[in-house]
């Protein structure tokens, strides 16, 4: 009798990277506890510097990148990762839209703010640039929005990608999740809630705590911005005030929706 040779398909090569941000999205993966050991077991983890020493930087099946591009060094790094990775996932609000550090995008005052925090005549050893999302530099295949990402949404995508399946999109706003959770609508109380304009995935966590949505998943494509602005204005808030607040987590991605209001 011949013994059958044991062979298995190679595990997908994965890299997890952190650019400028709070590291919260990588931390959420580390914080899965139950899934973390399975994840390390079911993939070939090439590079995950926050969790392990001695990374290998070569070809990758999937790269997960957290953080905004905020230095010239990071710009080079994202170009390099893109070259090596078959699939690139922008993970978290900073990678998707630029993050809170991109809330003033377009006001042309970046240099001024930099100087206010660091003082005059400062020459940095790496050159800082105003925060931009990954897709300002490279093509991004999938987006995992959120500040921070949601474990359930993230693992649904990660699981499909490492098994060669196509992940589902999440085309619903926060309001949809409020309805599923039977959460009382804060707009009925005339509270400033951004839910109708914001992508879901958080399981409507803030409204579930009686707190308005601050918009940390970024804009949803089919949000009715014009009508929602009108509604919020009728609560006694100025357009300027609403715009300022929605930009806190809107980064680059919000700008197109604010153009024709």
Partner 1 sequence: MSKKEIVIEPLARVEGHGGIRVVIEGNKISDVEVRILEGPRLFEELVVGKTPEEDLSIVPRICAICNLSHKYAALRGLEKALGVTIPNVTQEYRHLMHNGEIIESHSLHLYFLALPDFLGYDNAVAMADKYGDVVVKALQLKKFGNKIMRMMGGRMIHGENPVLGGFGKLPSKKALIAIKKEAEELLPFAMATIDLLAGLEIPNHIERETQFLCCKPTHEGYDYYGEFFITSDGKEHPVENYKEVIIERTVSHSFAKRGTYNGAPFTVGAIARIILLRDRLTGQAKEACDKLFNERWHRNPLYNNFAQAVEQVFSLESVISIVDKLLESDTPEIAQRTTETGSGTGAVEAPRGTLIHSYKIKDGKTTYADFITPTAMFLDDVEAFIRTGGENLLANNQMENIELKFEMIVRAFDPCISCSAHLVEVVYK
**Cα distances (angstroms) measured from residue 216 to each of 144, 148, 194, 197:** 12, 8, 10, 11
CB 75 within 8 A of CB 101: no
**With respect to partner 1, which residue has the nearer C-beta, 20 or 170?**
20
Dist CA 32 CA 184 (whole Å): 29
Gap between the Cα atoms of 133 and 145, Å rounded: 12
Interface with partner 1 (CB under 8 A), residue from 42, 84, 104, 258? 104
The reply on whether position 255 binds partner 1 by CB under 8 A is: no
Between 135 and 222, name the residue whose CB sits nearer to partner 1: 135
**Using the rule CB under 8 A, which residue among 58, 106, 171, 210 binds partner 1?**
210
- In whole angstroms, give the CA distance from residue 118 to residue 124: 10
**CA distance between the termini of the chain:** 76
Strand order in the sheet with 60-66: 44-48, 13-18, 60-66, 85-91, 142-144
Is 244 near partner 1 (CB under 8 A)? yes
CB of 230 to partner 1, least distance (A): 22
Q: How far out from the chain centre does Cα 183 lie?
A: 25
Exposure b/e, 220-235, CB count within 10 A at least 16 = b: beebebeebbebbeee
Among 121, 169, 234, 260, binds partner 1 (CB under 8 A): 121
Residue 109 Cβ, how far from partner 1 at the closest point, in Å? Answer: 9
Cβ closest to partner 1, residue 224 vs residue 238: 238
- In the list 12, 15, 97, 99, the residue contacting partner 1 (rule: CB under 8 A) is 99
Sign of the C-alpha dihedral computed for residues 240, 172, 220 and 20 taken in this order: positive
Nearer to partner 1, 118 or 235 (CB): 118
CB proximity list for 259: less than 8 A, separation 6 or greater: none
Q: Kindly determine how many residues on this chain lie close enough to bind partner 1 according to the rule CB under 8 A.
A: 65
- Considering only 126, 165, 180, 261, the residue that binds partner 1 (CB under 8 A) is 126
Q: State the Cα–Cα distance between residues 121 and 154, nearest whole angstrom.
A: 43
- Residues numbered 32 to 51 that lie near partner 1 (CB under 8 A) are 33-34, 36-37, 40, 49-51
| One of 6, 7, 108, 123 touching partner 1 (CB under 8 A) | 123
Looking at residues 79 to 98 of the shown chain, list those that interact with partner 1 (rule: CB under 8 A).
Answer: none
- When asked if residue 248 is in the footprint of partner 1 (CB under 8 A), the reply is yes
Q: Which residues bind partner 1 (CB under 8 A)?
A: 18-25, 27-28, 30-31, 33-34, 36-37, 40, 49-55, 67-71, 73-74, 99-101, 103-104, 113-114, 116-119, 121-126, 128-129, 131, 147-148, 202, 205-206, 208-211, 214, 216, 244-245, 248
């Amino acid at each position: 009798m011949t013994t059958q040779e044991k062979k298995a398909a190679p595990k997908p090569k994965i890299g997890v990277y952190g650019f400028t941000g709070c590291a919260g999205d990588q931390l959420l993966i580390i914080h899965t506890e139950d899934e973390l050991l399975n994840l390390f077991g079911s993939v070939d983890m090439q590079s995950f510097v926050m969790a392990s020493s001695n990374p290998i930087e070569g070809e990758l099946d999937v790269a997960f990148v957290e953080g905004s591009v905020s230095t010239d060094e990071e710009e080079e790094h994202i170009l390099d990762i893109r070259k090596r990775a078959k699939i690139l996932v922008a993970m978290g609000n900073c990678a998707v839209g630029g993050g809170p550090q991109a809330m003033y995008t377009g006001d042309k005052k970046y240099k001024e703010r930099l100087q206010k925090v660091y003082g005059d005549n400062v020459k940095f050893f790496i050159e800082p640039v105003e925060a931009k999302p990954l897709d300002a530099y490279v093509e991004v295949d999938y987006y995992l929005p959120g500040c921070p990402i949601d474990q359930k949404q993230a693992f649904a995508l990660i699981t499909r990608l490492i098994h060669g399946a196509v992940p589902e999109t999440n085309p619903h706003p926060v309001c949809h999740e409020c309805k599923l959770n039977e959460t009382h609508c804060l707009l009925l109380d005339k509270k400033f809630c951004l839910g109708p304009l914001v992508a879901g995935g958080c399981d409507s966590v803030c409204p579930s705590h009686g707190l308005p949505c601050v918009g940390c998943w970024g804009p949803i494509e089919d949000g009715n911005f014009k009508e929602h602005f009108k509604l919020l204005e009728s609560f006694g808030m100025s357009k300027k005030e609403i715009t300022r607040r929605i930009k806190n987590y809107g980064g680059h991605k919000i700008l197109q929706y604010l153009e024709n209001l």
